[in-house]
Structure 1
Amino acid sequence: MTDWLIELPTWQLTRIFAIAAYLLLFGGMAMGMLYGYPFMKGKRKATLYKAHMQLTNSGTLLALLHMAVLVIDTYTPFKWTELLIPFMAHEHPLLYGLGTLSLYGMLLLLLTSDFRQKFSRRIWLTIHLLSYPIFIMALAHGFFSGTDTELPLIKGMYVATLVITLLLASGRMLVKKPARRAAA
């Protein structure tokens, strides 16, 4: 069994899992922001919520696989302690620590979403708003420590996802403000 694991193309797998996880998490983030727009109603809102959850869960799972493959990678192996304890990596501790923290943040978001009814709306929303800094940490981790960032397509992916996220977040704040004022 060990030989089979060592024979896996771990370097390629970890890169594929990382990029796929990032894109799925971005998709989940985008769907979550769209879900909050006031014009999303009925079936469209239910569909967005389902997509939001599926993308976020899948992205988190792939991020966990990304981390697990790093342990068996023979090119640049990591110890479990380097991956599980933020800022303990043998190289680029800050950047890899951001990856670890963003993974823990995603797990926190998923866990608290599963137990949403146990929290007050205010507490749950406060925790859920951590998705914004978690996304920024994941982006920084991938952009600055990813070995494929030098490729124009990958660099463009990071820039495009950041711009789209900023536009969606800004739009959501602008759309919500008049509704809040009218309610007050």
Structure 2
Amino acid sequence: MNEIWWYLSRSSGIVATVLIVAALACGFRFSARATGTRRRPAWWLDLHNYLGGLAFVFVVVHVFAVYQDELSGIGLLQILVPMTADGWAWGITWGVLATYVFALVVVTSWPRKRGSRRIWLTVHLTSLPAAIVAGVHAWMVGSSRGQLWFTVLLTALVGLAVYPTVLRCVAAVAKRSARRLRSQTRACTASAATTPDPRPPTRPTVSRIIDESDPELVGAGSRWR
């Protein structure tokens, strides 16, 4: 029975890590407006929410399986309190911290956003360092950490997470630059509207055009002259 819990904890941890990175990639592509034209942006947002929720489910399964495995040496105290596991305190601690962050992200986002947008966004963005911490946890205490396929998988996940992160940062910088340019343009327009014209006012001139071919206006034109 312990072998079943060991396999379940191992597989659920790997699946949870993959789903977390996939959810991050979809979320960053959506926020960076880099979703392309084949799918609507709302589709990417729904996929991001679905993958994020599914990832948290596998995180819960992973924690439960580790707790049920008697040979792991992980009890309720080690699951809830960092730096209490014997032998691999830091490795388990990274997993505990990542679990807390993911739980906070899910609670503040599902079934609806809670709190102000600034607070929600700050909490939501902590999922990126939490994903990195989860990868460190897998590398330090994972039973497959020395195998080639596991190293290749973690490398691929890092690449999958870095690309949309760079897209999001570039989009954020471009958006901030465009906002600053619009503010400067509005300020210049307002300044030009309130600044008086330094040139002195000119008197209006009236031009009179006389048709020389009209005999009635020739006499009147001579009087004007």
TM-score by length of 2: 0.74
User: Structure 1 179/83 Cα, relative in aligned 2: closer, same or farther at 3 Å?
Assistant: same
2:9 aligned to which of 14, 24, 30? 14
Aligned 8 A contact 2:2 2:70 in 1: no
Stretches (4+) displaced over 6 A: none
> Which residue pairs with 2:132 in the alignment?
136
Q: Deviations over 1:89-128 (max 9, x none)?
A: 1221111011011011000000111275442211111111
2:59 equivalent to 1:63: yes
Residue number in structure 2 paired with 1:82: 78
Distance 2:153 2:98 in 1: 19
2:132 maps to amino acid: I
Distance 1:102 1:65, change over 3 A: same
Q: How does 1:13-162 map to 2 (within 5 A)?
A: 13-40=8-35, 44-114=40-110, 117-162=113-158
The RMSD of aligned alpha carbons is 1.9
Shift of residue 176, structure 1, vs aligned partner: 2.7
CA contact (8 A) 2:23 2:52 kept: yes
Give the stretch that moved more between structures: 46-55 or 107-116.
107-116
Inter-CA distance 180–83: structure 2 relative to 1 (3 Å threshold): same
Aligned residues: 179
Contact 1:38/1:176 (<8 A) preserved: no
**Quick one: distance in 1 between partners of 2:2 and 2:170?**
52
Structure 2 gap ranges (5+): 181-225
SS at match of 2:138: helix
Which structure has the larger Rg? Answer: 2
**Uncovered stretches (5+) of structure 1, i.e. residues with no partner:** 1-5
Deviations 1:21-47 (A, max 9, x none): 111111111111111122448952111
Mean alpha-carbon deviation: is it higher for 137-146 or for 36-45? 36-45
Query: So what's the TM-score if we normalise by structure 1?
Result: 0.89
Report the Cα distance in structure 1 between the residues aligned to 2:8 and 2:131, rounded to whole angstroms.
22
What is the distance in 2 between the residues matched to 1:24 and 1:73? Answer: 23
Moved more, 9-18 or 37-46: 37-46
**Contact map agreement 1:32 1:52 (CA 8 A) in 2:** yes
SS of aligned partner of 1:21: helix
Aligned equivalents of 2:121 and 2:2: distance in 1? 45
Q: Greater helix share, 1 or 2?
A: 1
Name 2:161's counterpart in structure 1: 165
Measured in 2, the distance between the counterparts of 1:18 and 1:106 equals 14
CA contact (8 A) 2:23 2:51 kept: yes
